[in-house]
């Protein structure tokens, strides 16, 4: 019988909808992989009581014995396997503040420790508010994990079976986009996308790259389409990639255009994430390519305004766990 490696999941921001969508997902689905949840035991039991949930909890108190427990089937898919991270909430208001920073850091530290020990190669983090956790830094969780793992070549892929998108630049101010785009970035990120599809999806993807300027036109001397994007695409074609561009971003997501491609690569975050979310809503997952493990995040934020209302959609988390249930 095949033995499935556990999926390591951290709650992320404690003032979020994550535990609600986590339990909704488990109530509706039976997964083959054991789940190791890293979060506050106190918070977990409060949610179990509030939503009247019946799940067995296996608290893991010795991280050095996890592999033995997996081998002996003590960590399995019939219960929630919990690693407790203490969190004291001194406010009843559902407002995210800097006070959750230490809790999130400890959660990531525990998860990375298990991943580095090869306990698993499957990792999901719940939504994190970058405003406080990464205050003053011009990057997001994708870049945070790449830095922790000392990985320089990485990419953000928002994935749906019908279409995926990848922004070349991610969490940087709009004014810095143009000077941050170069041939090496385009080549390395598109190579990661191609390898991911070949290895994990079993196909060579058809890729389109958008232009940076409206209608792919610019009359200034440093034209990104002519100097960076077009030469990069020509090189990738010579290397055997199935790739086209630059195509105009304002028509890239029209039905008759997007259906030609598996992936649309954009030059900046909102250029491709906005239409992607408009088309697929929560039916997409955020995958970080280039890490020594598969990292996925549900494609939404903490949404603290919805805490306790039992109205949040668990679809993105469900898709994330399904993708890693191998």
Question: Taking Cα atoms as reference points, which of 76, 105, 109, 92 lies closest to residue 13?
Answer: 105
pLDDT band at 306 (very low <50, low <70, confident <90, very high): confident
Distance CA 24, CA 194 (A): 34
pLDDT band at 90 (very low <50, low <70, confident <90, very high): low
Residue extents of the structural domains in the chain: 1-151+291-326, 154-290
Distance CA 28, CA 315 (A): 11
The alpha-helical segments, DSSP class H, found in 51-140 are: 66-71, 101-116, 130-133
Phi, psi dihedral angles at 289 (to 5 degrees) = -90, 145
Q: Which CATH superfamily is domain 1-151+291-326 in?
A: Isopropylmalate Dehydrogenase (3.40.718.10)
Same fold, 1-151+291-326 and 154-290: yes
Mind listing the pLDDT tens digit for each residue in 226-281? Answer: 999 999 999 999 999 999 999 999 999 999 999 999 999 999 999 999 999 999 99
Mind listing the pLDDT tens digit for each residue in 4-31? Answer: 999 999 999 999 999 999 999 998 899 9
Mind listing the pLDDT tens digit for each residue in 130-179? Answer: 888 987 676 889 999 999 999 999 999 999 999 999 999 998 899 999 99
**CATH number corresponding to 154-290:** 3.40.718.10
Q: What is the pLDDT of residue 219?
A: 64
């Amino acid at each position: 019988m095949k033995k499935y490696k556990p999926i390591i999941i951290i709650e992320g921001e404690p003032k979020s909808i994550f535990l609600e969508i986590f339990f909704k997902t488990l109530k509706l689905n039976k997964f083959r992989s054991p789940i190791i949840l890293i979060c506050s035991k106190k918070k977990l039991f409060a949610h179990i009581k509030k939503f009247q949930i019946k799940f067995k909890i296996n608290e893991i108190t010795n991280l050095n014995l996890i592999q033995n427990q997996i081998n002996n089937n003590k960590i399995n898919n019939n219960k929630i396997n919990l690693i407790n991270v203490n969190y004291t909430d001194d406010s009843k208001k559902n407002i995210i503040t800097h006070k959750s920073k230490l809790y999130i850091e400890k959660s990531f530290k525990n998860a990375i420790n298990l991943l580095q020990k090869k306990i698993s190669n499957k990792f999901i983090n719940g939504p994190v508010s970058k405003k406080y956790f990464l205050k003053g830094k011009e990057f997001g969780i994708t870049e945070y994990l790449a830095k922790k793992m000392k990985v320089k070549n990485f990419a953000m892929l928002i994935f749906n079976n019908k279409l995926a998108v990848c922004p070349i630049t991610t969490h940087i101010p709009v004014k810095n986009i143009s000077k941050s785009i170069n041939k090496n970035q385009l080549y390395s990120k598109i190579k990661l996308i191609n390898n991911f599809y070949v290895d994990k999806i079993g196909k060579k993807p058809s890729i389109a790259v958008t232009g940076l300027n409206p209608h792919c036109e610019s009359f200034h001397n440093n034209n990104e389409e002519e100097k960076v994007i077009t030469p990069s695409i020509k090189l990738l074609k010579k290397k055997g990639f199935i790739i086209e561009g630059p195509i105009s971003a304002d028509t890239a997501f029209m039905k008759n255009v997007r259906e030609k491609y598996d992936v649309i690569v954009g030059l900046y975050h909102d250029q491709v994430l906005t239409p992607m979310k408009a088309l697929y809503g929560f039916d997409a997952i955020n995958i970080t390519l280039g890490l020594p493990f598969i990292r996925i995040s549900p494609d939404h934020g903490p949404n603290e305004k919805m805490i306790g209302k039992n109205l949040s959609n668990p679809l993105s988390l469900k898709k994330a766990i399904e993708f890693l249930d191998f």
